[in-house]
């Protein structure tokens, strides 16, 4: 029977099957595609040339982002082939920092729906609605409320760019097959009045409910998702800080889940600190760590650093005494009555103050970490004081996007006479200082969460533990060789990100098997087994 024209068009409109100009002559005849495509039959390598020329002609990274998202919705294989051909170039376009601009303008640049949008008023229908997703074996759901996106705050439905981008990095950075990945925006409303008034805003124009209702909505979603997609891993992303901490505690021992803002961020910081301390020939237990920012990311990082200190012999109390945090209301200290339950363990007897420089002088930190989203908060005076106190000060301004970084790489270098061990949450460009070339490190979670995803995809554990993130941090740090450390590099090169992530995933998988957490049989060669599971962006014969 001859296929209808609509069947042929449906094949060309199917992003997972479409090859565009790479359909062979035999396929064109078989699927009635003759005349619907130009006569040239191209390889994927030739198609990449065209993609690269299109991207080169775009005037800005946000325009390149829009083009690549369009490519993903039209030809998924070519999209991933492009990203994986040069991850150091393309990851910053499809994710941080360009995704910040994409989220700010999400409703204005919207072209085609990707993923699923669930609203609070659908709470009783989540099961029925999730069944509308065409893929039945979903292995990972990345879900956000848009309540705390990067350094942008609450942007509601505009935050959908983050789950989309995060899951694309599962595949581009770690080879997790894309067909089992589902981005979800759980729309509970937004506190952002400007967005609620924007005629092109795509979300609910309502204020979010109270915590009890948020918990009820989250419960309904988790129950529906785990029933409709058995064995699914729920990746919580960019929820409001107090929601994030509360819900991770609520679900972590009940379902397969994790929160990348808390656990992934903590792991990448521990990885960078591990490398920095190797350079300094020091231990975690000898550090004094000061945070500017005490939300979910800061508390998560502090907790994992405390765990690293305990592994070196300190008690819980001793570890916490070596960690201090400052939030918008000042130093976290014992006279404060406004602390939440996660901040209270880090409250010490100290003089109340909001002055970062004063705390640096009195607390005498060896490590300064910024998760404040306050651009320029690490002033010259603060950084110079860190250099006065330490031969090699460790300075991690982790806030993003770029204009929210607490200081730049060049500033940290010049204000410490080149002594700082530095990593930011965004990738700053290479620079020269006193005749020496510097390649600033990026403490970005994409070194960690895709590898965790790959290990979980392979081993199918029932739960995800902090120990898995600590194993991922150690594996990441171990891949920075001595020559790289001598140049001040704290993380592996992004150009080899797939190799890095597979190595990290192998280590995490070994940990999962060693601790009896896997639900599949242990293979004799874990790395070869994982490599055999990787997605490869090649056209399949139809």
User: Could you tell me which residues are annotated as the binding site?
Assistant: 148, 237-238, 261, 400, 444
Q: Nearest to residue 378, comparing CAs of 362, 398, 364, 351?
A: 398
In angstroms, rounded to a whole number, what is the distance separating the alpha carbons of residues 502 and 500? Answer: 6
Residue positions in the annotated binding site for (S)-malate?
148, 400, 444
330 strand-pairing partners: 327
Query: Under 8 Å CB-to-CB from 161, ≥6 apart: which residues?
Result: 99, 102, 103, 106
Q: Nearest to residue 325, comparing CAs of 304, 344, 341, 310?
A: 344
Buried b (16+ CB within 10 A) or exposed e, 372-385: bbbbebbeeebbbb
Residue 66's CB: how many other CB atoms inside 10 A? 18
* Candidate list 166, 170, 280, 447, residue with the active-site label: 166
Query: How distant is the alpha carbon of residue 238 from its chain centre?
Result: 10
Buried b (16+ CB within 10 A) or exposed e, 330-343: ebbbeeeeebeebb
* Candidate list 95, 170, 422, 535, residue with the active-site label: 95
Please give the angle made by the CA atoms of 468, 457 and 528, to the nearest 5 degrees. 90
- Where helices occur in 281-426 by DSSP H, the ranges are 296-311, 316-321, 356-363, 380-389, 409-415
To the query of whether residue 95 is one of the catalytic residues in this protein, the response is: yes
Buried b (16+ CB within 10 A) or exposed e, 260-275: bbbbbbbbbbbbbbbb
Q: Nearest to residue 236, comparing CAs of 265, 210, 197, 205?
A: 265
Structure tokens at 371: 């998760």
Query: How distant is the alpha carbon of residue 351 from its chain centre?
Result: 36
In angstroms, rounded to a whole number, what is the distance separating the alpha carbons of residues 414 and 420? Answer: 9
- Where is 119: in which H helix or E strand? strand 116-119
In angstroms, rounded to a whole number, what is the distance separating the alpha carbons of residues 385 and 380? Answer: 8
Residue positions in the annotated binding site for a divalent metal cation?
237-238, 261
**Tokens 């065409």 sit on residue:** 134
* Residues 534/453, Cβ–Cβ less than 8 Å: no
Structure tokens at 71: 């490519």
* Residues 322/288, Cβ–Cβ less than 8 Å: yes
In angstroms, rounded to a whole number, what is the distance separating the alpha carbons of residues 35 and 288? Answer: 69
- Cβ-count burial of 362 within 10 angstroms (0-12 exposed, 13-18 middle, 19+ buried)? middle
| Residues labelled as active-site residues | 95, 166
């Amino acid at each position: 029977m001859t296929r209808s024209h609509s069947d042929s068009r449906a094949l060309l409109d199917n992003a997972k099957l479409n090859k565009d100009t790479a359909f062979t002559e035999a396929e064109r005849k078989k699927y009635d595609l003759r005349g619907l495509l130009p006569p040239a039959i191209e390889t994927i390598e030739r198609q990449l040339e065209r993609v690269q020329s299109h991207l080169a002609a775009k005037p800005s990274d946000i325009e390149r982002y829009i083009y690549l998202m369009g490519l993903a919705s039209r030809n998924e294989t070519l999209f991933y082939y492009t990203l994986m051909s040069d991850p150091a170039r393309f990851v910053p376009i499809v994710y941080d920092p360009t995704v910040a601009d994409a989220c700010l303008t999400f409703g204005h640049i919207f072209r085609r729906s990707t993923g699923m949008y669930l609203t609070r008023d659908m709470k009783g229908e989540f099961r029925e609605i999730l069944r509308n997703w065409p893929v039945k074996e979903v292995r990972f759901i990345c879900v956000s409320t848009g309540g705390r996106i990067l350094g942008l705050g609450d942007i509601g439905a505009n935050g959908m760019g983050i789950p989309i981008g995060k899951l694309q990095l599962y595949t581009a950075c770690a080879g997790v097959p894309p067909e089992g990945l589902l981005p979800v925006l759980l729309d509970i409303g937004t506190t952002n009045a400007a967005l609620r008034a924007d005629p092109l805003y795509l979300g609910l124009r309502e204020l979010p409910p109270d915590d009890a209702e948020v918990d009820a909505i989250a419960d309904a979603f988790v129950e529906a998702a785990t029933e409709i997609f058995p064995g699914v891993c729920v990746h919580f992303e960019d929820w409001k800080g107090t929601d994030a901490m509360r819900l991770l505690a609520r679900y972590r021992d009940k379902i397969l889940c994790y929160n990348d803002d808390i656990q992934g961020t903590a792991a990448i910081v521990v990885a960078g600190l591990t490398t920095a301390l190797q350079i300094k020939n020091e231990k975690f237990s000898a550090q004094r760590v000061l945070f500017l920012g005490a939300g979910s990311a800061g508390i998560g990082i502090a907790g994992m650093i405390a765990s690293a200190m305990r592994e070196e012999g300190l008690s819980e109390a001793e570890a916490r005494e070596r960690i201090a945090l400052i939030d918008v209301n000042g130093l976290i200290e014992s006279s404060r009555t406004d602390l939440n339950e996660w901040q209270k363990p880090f409250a010490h007897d100290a003089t109340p103050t909001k002055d970062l420089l004063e705390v640096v002088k009195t607390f005498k930190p060896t490590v300064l970490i910024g998760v404040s989203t306050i651009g320029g908060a690490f002033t010259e005076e603060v950084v110079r004081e860190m250099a006065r106190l330490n031969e090699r000060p460790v300075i991690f301004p982790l806030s993003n996007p770029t204009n929210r970084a607490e200081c730049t790489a060049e500033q940290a270098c010049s204000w410490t006479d080149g002594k700082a061990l530095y990593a930011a949450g965004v990738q700053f460009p290479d620079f020269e200082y006193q005749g020496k070339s510097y390649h600033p490190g990026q403490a970005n979670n994409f070194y960690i969460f895709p590898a965790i995803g790959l290990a979980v995809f392979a081993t199918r554990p029932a739960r995800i533990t902090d120990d898995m993130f600590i194993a991922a941090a150690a594996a990441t740090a171990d891949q920075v060789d001595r020559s790289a450390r001598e140049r001040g590099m704290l993380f592996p090169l992004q150009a080899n990100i797939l190799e890095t992530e597979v190595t990290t995933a192998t280590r995490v998988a070994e940990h999962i098997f060693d601790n009896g957490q896997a639900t599949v049989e242990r293979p004799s060669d874990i790395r070869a087994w994982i490599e055999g599971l990787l997605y490869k962006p090649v056209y399949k014969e139809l």
